[in-house]
Chains A and B, each alone.
Chain A
Amino acid sequence: MKTASTRRAVTEGLLDTLEEDRSVILVSSDSVGVIKAQDLMEKYPDNVMEMGISEQAAMAASAGLASCGMKPVYVAYAVFATQRACEQFRNTVAYPGLDVKVIGANGGMGSGEREGVTHQGLEDIGIARTIPGITVLSPADAGQVRKAMKAMLTIKGPFYMRVGSGRDPVFWPEDTPFEPGKTRIFFNGGKDLVIFAHGFVLPLVKEACEILSAQGIGVRGVEVATIKPLNNGEMLDYLRDCRAALVVEDHTVIGGLGSAVAELSSEFYPKKIIRIGLEDRFSESGTPEELFEKYGITSKKIVEKALNALK
């Protein structure tokens, strides 16, 4: 499978934007290397604020920069951005609604891979999603991340965007646009079953859709890259039409897209919603393939649960 770095794509997106907008500033807690931004640092030294290894101060300093008219993009590992600096994200960024973009790398166990649990962002989306006013993005691949960077830097307000390990599967053709707030159908084989997914599990989900379709199941695969705010109109269209829905994500099954879909469904069109992700436990070190196999995020598992859901 072809891979490309979603982390480097953050830098590419910043470079694209800096050509036109010099108020953008990368805030780093020794995370320049995380997104391979050394060239950006050389080209735009005034557009990087290195805070040292200090996620809490970096988050709050980003708020301070934004309050004075800059457009800070704070990059850290997902687990540290959303958990170590969670209170600063809430109180200094989200509460005043400041224009700070937070990027969390190593989102999920697949992209945290051999680093182990301490460096895997397993709950990042759930945490960011519960804080009022934060837009939460999880683009599919490097091309999408680069475009998402440009797109979100034109929208005022706090954002959280999840990226991966730097060896992330390419899912969409290069020229595919990124449209914040929109969902996208990537497999359209009927309406009995809808499978919602985001991020680096999309290739697995597509594979599962193909297997299900070959077995005569009417299945639709939908990418939900903007997890908050959910596009309720589009989501309800899918939910209304289906008999059951699956949500697949590299995230704990508590609080992520699976929860968001269940919350929406239960209010409007109660359907059977099956959440596939990391069950309420911690993962471990290993390759992404080994981890997905051991912790139950495989096309085989998706097919099995889909067939059960339709019984």
Chain B
Amino acid sequence: MTLNELQDTARLIRKDVLEMVHDVKDGHLGPSYSAADIITALYFGGILNIKPDQPRWEDRDRFVLSKGHACPAVYAALIRRGFLREEEKFTLRKINSRLQGHPDMVKTPGIDATTGPLGNGLAMAVGMAKALKLQKKASRVFVLTGDGELQEGIIWEALQAAVKHRLDNLYIFIDQNLWQSGGLLSEVSGILPIREKIEAFQIACQEIDGHDFNAILKAVKTSEVNTGPSVIICNTIKGKGLDFMEDDNSWHKRVPTEEQYEEGIRQLGGCK
């Protein structure tokens, strides 16, 4: 995809997410929007080697959404890549749906790890990356974590193991929007600064604009030479894409009013 096409796809994914959350009156808009460009780059920028008609293909790359609450954006990407049917969009969080409130690797084609409890996804990805290396597969494992999520101890357990096992097939994106459910990271926790902590673990770390497709794609390329795991810190804006939502943490998990919904659809490209 060209840069314009990627931007357009990300806009449509944000629109899908707004429609889904508006329909079921539940779900995480802000965290989905900060991660939407990273997710778009992975699924449409030629990063993930996957086959929509064979979601369990053994040689596929894996994607683990460790910040599982941003799954509406991944579901939208999976629908647009053909893993899921278009009409499933409006089953999010509803009974008998394949689109659970948090990712479910058994129910949902295209979902590689059951996640949501923060931190677990990264540790699962460490096991996946190790297995794929032992099996001498070229497959890679991509993980997307939140920045608030890094407060979980399991993250640092997993990182030290990833270093020890020289998991050069493990790519970790950190969606650094600087907010968590309860407020600013800097107020709720002592996790900042993140980059220094990652680098203290002897992990190759880049810091980029998480809304710049060229930067995301280039960062993955640059990471390919690393002899261990790679971390790409993506500076993002929570709620990115809608002016009334950007950097306003009340949108962590908030349902838009009819007016906000209409305005959101208008900003994201008009027609529903």
Residues of chain A at the chain B interface (Cβ within 8 Å): 25, 27, 46, 49-52, 54, 56-70, 72, 87-88, 91-92, 95-97
Type the 1/0 row for B117-159, where 1 means its CB is closer than 8 Å to any CB of A. 1011001111111111011000000000000000001100110
- Can you spell out 19 A-B residue pairs with CB atoms less than 8 angstroms apart? A49-B127, A49-B130, A50-B164, A54-B160, A56-B120, A57-B158, A57-B161, A58-B157, A60-B120, A60-B124, A60-B154, A61-B124, A61-B161, A64-B124, A68-B128, A68-B131, A68-B132, A87-B120, A92-B120
Q: Categorize the interface residue count of chain B.
A: 20 to 34
Among residues of B, the one whose C-beta sits closest to the C-beta of A90 is: B117
Decide yes or no: A54 and B114 within 8 Å by CB, A61-B126, A88-B120, A96-B106 being known contacts: no
Decide yes or no: A95 and B114 within 8 Å by CB, A52-B160, A69-B58 being known contacts: yes
Main secondary structure on chain A at its contact with chain B? helix
Among residues of B, the one whose C-beta sits closest to the C-beta of A61 is: B127
Is the CB–CB distance between A56 and B157 below 8 Å? Answer: yes
Across-interface contacts of A62 in B (CB, < 8 A):
127
Picked from A46, A58, A92, A95, the residue with its CB within 8 Å of the CB of B134 is A46
- The residue in A57, A59, A65, A88 that gathers the most chain B C-beta atoms within 10 A of its C-beta is A57
Main secondary structure on chain B at its contact with chain A? helix
The 8 closest A-B pairs by CB, nearest first: A64-B127, A54-B157, A61-B127, A60-B123, A57-B157, A68-B131, A64-B124, A57-B123
Cβ of A211 to closest chain B Cβ, rounded Å: 50
- The residue in B131, B132, B161 that gathers the most chain A C-beta atoms within 10 A of its C-beta is B131
Across-interface contacts of A66 in B (CB, < 8 A):
127
Among residues of A, the one whose C-beta sits closest to the C-beta of B121 is: A60
Across-interface contacts of B123 in A (CB, < 8 A):
56-57, 59-61, 64, 88, 92
Across-interface contacts of B50 in A (CB, < 8 A):
none
Cross-chain pair count, CB within 8 angstroms: 106
Cβ of A127 to closest chain B Cβ, rounded Å: 17
Judged by a CB distance under 8 angstroms, whether B165 is at the interface is yes
Judged by a CB distance under 8 angstroms, whether B112 is at the interface is yes
Picked from A50, A67, A70, the residue with its CB within 8 Å of the CB of B124 is A67
Is the CB–CB distance between A60 and B127 below 8 Å? Answer: yes
Is the CB–CB distance between B114 and A72 below 8 Å? Answer: no
Cβ of B38 to closest chain A Cβ, rounded Å: 21
Across-interface contacts of A49 in B (CB, < 8 A):
127, 130, 165
Is the CB–CB distance between B153 and A56 below 8 Å? Answer: yes
Is the CB–CB distance between B120 and A91 below 8 Å? Answer: yes
Picked from A51, A59, A70, A95, the residue with its CB within 8 Å of the CB of B161 is A51
A61 to B161, CA, bound (A): 10
- B:59-116 near A, CB below 8 Å: 62, 104-106, 112-114, 116
Cβ of A151 to closest chain B Cβ, rounded Å: 24
Cβ of B56 to closest chain A Cβ, rounded Å: 10
Cβ of A120 to closest chain B Cβ, rounded Å: 23
Among residues of A, the one whose C-beta sits closest to the C-beta of B137 is: A68
Among residues of B, the one whose C-beta sits closest to the C-beta of A22 is: B134
A51 to B117, CA, bound (A): 20
